[in-house]
A = this chain, B = another copy of it.
Amino acid sequence: MKMGNQPFPLASREEHPEDTLIRLGTLEIGGRRPVVMAGPCSVEGRDALIDIALTLKHLGADVLRGGAFKPRSSPYSFQGLGEEGLKYLADARAITGMPVVSEVMEPQAVGLVAEYVDILQVGARSMQNYALLRAVGHSHRPVLLKRGFSNTVEEWLLAAEYILSAGNPNVILCERGIRTFETATRNTLDLNAVPVARYLSHLPVIVDPSHGTGYSRYVIPMARAAIAAGAHGLIVEVHPEPDKALSDGQQSLTPTEFRQMVSQIHKVHDAIEDFVVTSI
């Protein structure tokens, strides 16, 4: 089970054969039913967020996603609404009852973000930000840990080990695409990571086909494939008018497409449910 030289005893399935189940109210992440997290890339305004949240709840989303603090390659790009965005997310949760996930980018902000959201997201660029991993490890909130776009599965599990060893047992792994030479997709969504991570670890594994492919037309087939590969859920970007999104519109589903995706992944899940449990 060891691939490199570095053990990850707390994340390892060898030492913890049972799947980890993370509970948020009545929601279970890591159980039999696939979890769907959805929302806009960035929180852009209170009314728009509440509108899309109500729609997504109605269409079968379990968790609302939305970026308040946005990691951007350029200092001149839109950096998100910050705490104001977190407040809108909290408002959307109060109205819809859906738990909320949002990214935290620095150790000092963990307390603030944890006040407003139910799941703390550590982004791909932060996967080896060890101070941040320790800080979310000291939080009582579950952590969604995105795989770095050039990190091995072993490094991903070692990053999870930082969080687990700081005292937080509730880590959700999220595959979101790696960097390769291919240019037809924004990244190369690496679905191999799903069975590999489930073989090596007991932690739940979800998949982000929006960032993973970068084009909305590939999101639904790759979402189906993720569930068929054994993923415990998905996180996708949805925007009422993708053309007008402040960021990542090209990869956002419309609400109609989202409804199709939910329907299809549940059919895939129903078809393979018994196999996944026994074959991994």
A158 in contact with B192 given A107-B106, A150-B179, A181-B180 (CB within 8 Å)? no
Which chain B residues border A109 with CB–CB below 8 Å? 131
Q: Quickly give the copy total for this chain.
A: 4
Whether the Cβ atoms of B182 and A199 lie closer than 8 Å is no
Whether the Cβ atoms of B158 and A75 lie closer than 8 Å is yes
**Nearest-Cβ distance from residue A144 to partner chain B, whole angstroms:** 18
Determine the distance from Cα of A192 to Cα of B209 in the docked complex, in whole angstroms.
10
Which residue of B is nearest A129, CB measured? B129
A125 located at the interface, meaning its Cβ lies under 8 Å from any Cβ of chain B in the complex: yes
Max chain B Cβ within 10 angstroms of own Cβ: one of A107, A196, A226, A271: A271
A residues near B, CB below 8 A?
Answer: 3-4, 6-8, 71-77, 105-109, 125-126, 128-132, 149-150, 152-155, 158-159, 161-162, 165-166, 178-185, 188-192, 194-196, 199-200, 212-213, 217-218, 220-222, 224-230, 260, 264, 267-268, 270-272, 275-276, 279-280
A6 in contact with B185 given A129-B129, A228-B228, A230-B221 (CB within 8 Å)? no
**Nearest-Cβ distance from residue A160 to partner chain B, whole angstroms:** 10
Which chain B residues border A166 with CB–CB below 8 Å? 75
Determine the distance from Cα of A47 to Cα of B279 in the docked complex, in whole angstroms.
31
Which residue of B is nearest A127, CB measured? B125
Which chain B residues border A190 with CB–CB below 8 Å? 180, 182, 188
Max chain B Cβ within 10 angstroms of own Cβ: one of A77, A105, A128, A199: A128
Determine the distance from Cα of A72 to Cα of B225 in the docked complex, in whole angstroms.
32
Which chain B residues border A162 with CB–CB below 8 Å? 75
Whether the Cβ atoms of A195 and B181 lie closer than 8 Å is no
Which chain B residues border A6 with CB–CB below 8 Å? 73-74, 76-77
Max chain B Cβ within 10 angstroms of own Cβ: one of A74, A105, A153, A268: A74
A128 in contact with B125 given A150-B149, A225-B191, A272-B267 (CB within 8 Å)? yes
**Nearest-Cβ distance from residue A195 to partner chain B, whole angstroms:** 4
Determine the distance from Cα of A268 to Cα of B190 in the docked complex, in whole angstroms.
20
Whether the Cβ atoms of A150 and B150 lie closer than 8 Å is yes
Determine the distance from Cα of A71 to Cα of B264 in the docked complex, in whole angstroms.
40
